[in-house]
Structure 1
Amino acid sequence: MTDPSPTPAPPRTLILWRLLSLLYDVWPVLAMWFVVAIPFVLVDVAASGNVRHNVEPFSLLAWLQWGCCWLVTGLYAVLSWRRGGQTLGMRPWRLKVVAADGAAPTAGALWRRYALASLSTLAGGLGFWWAWIDRDRLTFHDRFSGTRMIRLPKRR
């Protein structure tokens, strides 16, 4: 009997699909960030009394806003991965996040994956490029969260 799980794609191809899915996921994430920003803008306007007031880039309010955006993005990713293994951007490219053994990953593993992927992105995507040298073609956040990304076969 053959193993029904898909085999890992070559790193270059999988990295391309990951980047394309991230590009697709930018749009729902930006929409969520706009919604998250509304209360912060209202608080800033109420505090300054001026709609054109510029928020200081390193103020507590700005850091809190970015923290909320990061958390909302994490909720989007983790809940999508828990529900079906895919975000909206992963669906057209048939990508899916699974545990290392092929089962559904735990919420803790998915939060670790998200946190490490965030750090990787801030470091110029180094954790994503790790797949080029990893023997199992896993990114840094795949390896250390106990998850992996697979490409699903085409539907017939």
Structure 2
Amino acid sequence: MTPTIKRRLTAMVYETFLLLAVEMLAVALFLIVTRNNHAPVFQYAMKVWLFVVTGAYFTWGWTNSGHTLAMKTWRMQVVTTGGARLPLRMAIVRYLLAWGWFLPALLACTALGLKDKAQIGTAVAVGVLAWGLTALFDRDRQFLHDRLAGTRLVQLPKPVKAGAPAEAA
């Protein structure tokens, strides 16, 4: 069963907070290694570093257990369309395609020379909304990046509590 769009978006908000902690640690490590050098090359290197760390976080979770901590909390798992665990290549493709949530808006901001935080925030919000709406047009209610990557999110059943009576069949 596919999780509801509301459930997936709620998990994404939770994921944002968890990812923030991971990236704060990555930035601290980067600053220690580069001795807090602010030369332009290091500014670009930090962006590349965060892109790689974020990708490693997601692809490791998706290939190892099928979910990240936020997905586990909300009882969701990403699998292939056949229901199997994701191979590394498919997880990387899914990660790159998931940038569709943000990349078109960020590219538009760059092309239009937008610098104001409110304008950038609005553009990103519109981009996220547009990408999120793709699930409404999908027969299985999957987001576009999952459809393109050949993956799908599935809802996991509630765990059975220890000592709870078994349901009658």
Please classify the TM superposition score into its range, dividing by the shorter chain length. Answer: 0.7 to 0.9
| Alignment partner of 1:136 is 2:126 | no
C-alpha change, 1:39 and 1:98, in structure 2 (3 Å) is: closer
TM-score (normalizing by structure 2): 0.71
Give the one of 5, 30, 35 matched to 1:15: 5
Q: Alignment identity in percent? A: 31
Q: Give the match for residue 97 of structure 1.
A: 78
Give 1:141's aligned amino acid.
H
Aligned residue for 2:13, secondary structure, equals: helix
User: By how many angstroms is 1:122 displaced?
Assistant: 3.0
Aligned residue pairs, count:
136
Q: How many Å separate the matches in 1 of 2:147 and 2:97? A: 10
Query: Does the CA-based 8 Å contact 1:95-1:152 persist in structure 2?
Result: yes
Q: Give the match for residue 131 of structure 2.
A: 127
Q: How many Å separate the matches in 2 of 1:17 and 1:145? A: 21
User: By how many angstroms is 1:40 displaced?
Assistant: 4.3
Q: Give the match for residue 14 of structure 2.
A: 24
Give the one of 111, 117, 123 matched to 2:92: 111
Q: How many Å separate the matches in 1 of 2:46 and 2:75? A: 33
Q: How many Å separate the matches in 1 of 2:2 and 2:68? A: 19
What is the CA RMSD across the aligned residues, in angstroms?
2.0
Query: Does the CA-based 8 Å contact 1:36-1:65 persist in structure 2?
Result: no
| Alignment partner of 1:68 is 2:72 | no
Q: Which runs of 5+ in 2 are unaligned?
A: 105-126, 161-169
TM-score (normalizing by structure 1): 0.76
Q: How many Å separate the matches in 1 of 2:23 and 2:158? A: 33
- Larger helix fraction of residues: 2
Give the one of 74, 81, 99 matched to 2:62: 81
Give 1:113's aligned amino acid.
R
Query: Does the CA-based 8 Å contact 2:62-2:91 persist in structure 1?
Result: yes
Q: Give the match for residue 107 of structure 2.
A: none
Q: Which runs of 5+ in 1 are unaligned?
A: 1-6, 48-54
Q: Which runs of 4+ in 1 moved over 2 A?
A: 38-45, 119-123, 125-129
